[in-house]
Amino acid sequence: MRNRTLSKIGTQLLRLRHDSSQSSQNRAAPADYGLDHRQVAEFVAGTLDAESEAALAHQVARLLPFQWTWPNRVAEEMSQIMDHVGDQRELMAWLDRHPGSPRLVARLYVFMGLLDRYSAVPAVVTAMREYRERTPYPPGLEPYLVPATDDDTLASIAFKVEKLLGEEWTREAVELTLATAAWLQQIAPRARELTPEVGDLNELTGQARQDIRAAAADI
C-alpha cells in the first residue's frame, strides 16, 4: 500500500455507509465471526507470535464490514486493537502487512476512503455527470449506478463495495472497485480542468487500482 495514498484519505474509514435504500446498520456478522480473546490480549500486550498475529488479522478483516452491529465484546476488543495500532489508517497499514484477505480488505477500505473524499467535490461530480451524458453507464458499473449523478454517487459505490465484502462476494467487490477506479481515471483530467486542486485524483486512483489488483492476485 502506498503511504501517499494512505495519507490522502480521512481518518474515519470505518463509517456508517448507505445507498438509496440501505445502510451499514442493516447487516450483521454471521454467528461464527469473532475474535480469539487470547490472541487479542497477547497482541495488545505485544507478545503475540507472528503466526497467531496473521490469524488475528484475518479475523479483523472479516469483521470490518459489520462494524455498526458488532456485539459489545467484539466492539471492546476491536477498540483495544485500534488503540494498540494507533488509528483507523494505522489499522489498515497493519492489515496490509498480512498477505491474502487482510491485505486486500485494507486496500479496498483505503479506496473507499478515496471515494468518500471525492464524492461531494463539485468538480468531480460535474466531470462524472458530463461523462454520463455521453455514456450513461461506465463499463462494469451499470448494476451499481442509479441514473442520477450527485454528491452521493461515489459514496454509494463505497457502500456497495463494503456490502459485497460482508456477503463474501470478494471477486465482485474487487471488480466493482477496479471499474470505479478506471472511471475516475477517465474523468480526472476534466475534473482537474474545473478545479486544479483535484489534480491528484488520477494518480491516487491509479495507485489504488494497481495495489488492489496486486492484492487480489494473492487470494
pLDDT class for 21, splitting at 50, 70, 90?
Answer: low
List of long-range contacts for 53-59, beta carbons under 8 Å, 24+ apart: 53/98, 54/98, 54/102, 56/81, 57/94, 57/95, 57/97, 57/98, 57/102, 58/98, 58/100, 58/101, 58/102, 59/33, 59/34, 59/35
The pTM score is 0.92
Whether the CB-CB separation of 150 and 107 falls below 8 Å is answered with: no
Residue 74: is its pLDDT beyond 70?
yes
175-197 pLDDT, tens digit per residue, is: 999 999 999 999 999 999 999 99
81-125 pLDDT, tens digit per residue, is: 999 999 889 999 999 999 999 999 999 999 999 999 999 999 999
**Torsion-angle region of 168 (φ positive above 0: left; ψ -120 to 50: alpha; else: beta):** left
pLDDT over 90, % of the chain: 79
Query: According to the model, what pLDDT value does residue 6 have?
Result: 65
Residue 22: is its pLDDT beyond 70?
no
The whole-angstrom separation of Cα 37 and Cα 39 is 5
pLDDT over 70, % of the chain: 88
- Domain parsing of the chain, residue ranges: 23-98, 100-219
205-217 pLDDT, tens digit per residue, is: 999 999 999 999 9
Question: Is 67 buried (19+), middle (13-18) or exposed (0-12) by CB count in 10 A?
Answer: middle
The whole-angstrom separation of Cα 133 and Cα 49 is 55
Query: According to the model, what pLDDT value does residue 218 have?
Result: 86
pLDDT class for 145, splitting at 50, 70, 90?
Answer: very high
Residue 204: is its pLDDT beyond 80?
yes
Query: According to the model, what pLDDT value does residue 69 have?
Result: 85
pLDDT class for 50, splitting at 50, 70, 90?
Answer: very high
